[in-house]
Structure 1
Amino acid sequence: MARILIIGGHGKVALLLERILADRGDTVTGVIRNPAHEEDVVGTGAQALVADIETFDLDQLTNLIAGNDAVVWSAGAGGGAPERTYAVDRDAAIRSIDAAAAAGVRRYVMVSWIGSKEDHGIPDGDPFFPYADAKLAADEHLRASGLDWTILGPGALTLDPPTGRIAVDPQDGTGAVARADVARVIAAVLDDPASTIGRTIRFGNGDAAIDEALRAAAS
């Protein structure tokens, strides 16, 4: 079983993921900023670790990550001021990637979004642009890091019940998908590094079982 660190451990996807991983026997730590969220994380079977990744420097993040087998980035500023979006979704994410490398933790899974690409089409001045720009910078840094990376690009997130089925590279380009299925995809990716390392996987609702969809897209 693996030791997995989830940065952004109180997010809706992260809480679902923590329960999946803990139930299958992994040792899971959810990193949270607000101590009031500790009980929610512990309730999933994970450990809670209070740390403000927005302000942690490289050495602090290296110490935070050291000793784990994998890192999952599931944090985000959640909109609002562009300055904080860049501080969390770009700068802190990049520091965490560098920290994983410094700590010798090679497996890194980034939760991004389906449109994170150079031609994302979000115009400068659009309220969503800072997020798109920040995520792209973090994703590109991860690709160049030399780590055993996977970038996940789910479509629009819903609160629908999970189906256990997805479509990789959905034709409509938007790919709405249940948060519960995103959590299952992350767990499947962690469980199948051989077919997912070095891949950017964009996905949404579909008809193929998650494991089958990931393997088919890799072949």
Structure 2
Amino acid sequence: MSRIIVFGGHGRIALLLAPLLVARGDEVTSVIRNPDHVEEVEQTGARALVADVETLDTAALSDIIRGHDAVVWSAGAGGGSAERTYAVDRDAAIRTMDAAGEADVARYVMVSWIGSKADHGVPEDDGFFAYADAKWAADEHLRGTALEGTILGPGTLTFDAPTGRIVLDPEGHGEVSRADVAAVIAEVVGNPSTIGRTIRFGNGPADAALPIADALHA
């Protein structure tokens, strides 16, 4: 049994992730900003914790994280202003990494995106630039810490039914269901072989996809 804290606990992926973790015996704390979402989050079997990561400093985040075995960052500003995107997707994410270090919680799983690279190619005048830039900065910060980090880069998210199968580093087949992303997180968080890796994936063509656990060990 592991104690896992999930930031962005009311997100669509997190709502699918929590029941997977709970079903295997893990204790899940889902961090949410809106108290109106407590009931829905707790229906997944997780414990809801209302806290605004955008405003909490590193010390306060460390208090929240302390006592857990792993951190999953699945939060995001969800578009909108570039200022808030940087505040959440970059700055708040980085504070949780620093806080995890202070709290002696080494395992950290970052849910990023498939194109998070230094040369992501998104022009500065594109509305998506702030997200691409913020995620890359957060990913790079994680790589520079002493945390046992894994960066997940799912492709374009869909509402398709889960397949239980993925392709790593897909070429032109980067779409992936949110349910399969949740299953990848669940597999990765307790899998030491994924520490230090950046894993880009999609559902891929059916004839190339492998069961999630097999693909991650390939």
Q: TM-score, normalised by structure 2?
A: 0.97
Residues 1:55 and 2:64 aligned together? no
Supply the distance in 2 between the matched residues of 1:142 and 1:183 (Cα, whole angstroms).
20
Partner of 2:88: 88
Which residue identity is paired with 1:198? G
Runs ≥4 residues deviating over 2 A: none
* Cα displacement string for residues 2-42 of structure 1 (whole angstroms, at most 9, x for unaligned residues): 00000000000000000100111100000000000001110
Match of 1:198 among 196, 199, 217: 196
Partner of 2:149: 149
Partner of 2:164: 164
Supply the distance in 1 between the matched residues of 2:95 and 2:191 (Cα, whole angstroms).
25
Supply the distance in 2 between the matched residues of 1:108 and 1:43 (Cα, whole angstroms).
25
Q: Look up the SS of the partner of 1:94 in the other structure.
A: helix
* Cα displacement string for residues 42-74 of structure 1 (whole angstroms, at most 9, x for unaligned residues): 000000000000000011001010000000000
Q: What root-mean-square deviation, in Å, do the aligned CA atoms of Structure 1 and Structure 2 show?
A: 0.6
Partner of 1:131: 131
Supply the distance in 1 between the matched residues of 2:53 and 2:200 (Cα, whole angstroms).
26
* Cα displacement string for residues 165-190 of structure 1 (whole angstroms, at most 9, x for unaligned residues): 00000022x51000000000000001
Unaligned runs of 5+ in 2: none
Percent sequence identity over matched residues? 67
Partner of 2:44: 44
Partner of 1:213: 215
Supply the distance in 2 between the matched residues of 1:161 and 1:100 (Cα, whole angstroms).
33
Q: TM-score, normalised by structure 1?
A: 0.97
Give the CA deviation at 1:191.
2.4
| Aligned residue pair count | 214
Partner of 1:107: 107
Partner of 1:180: 179
Give the CA deviation at 1:192.
1.2
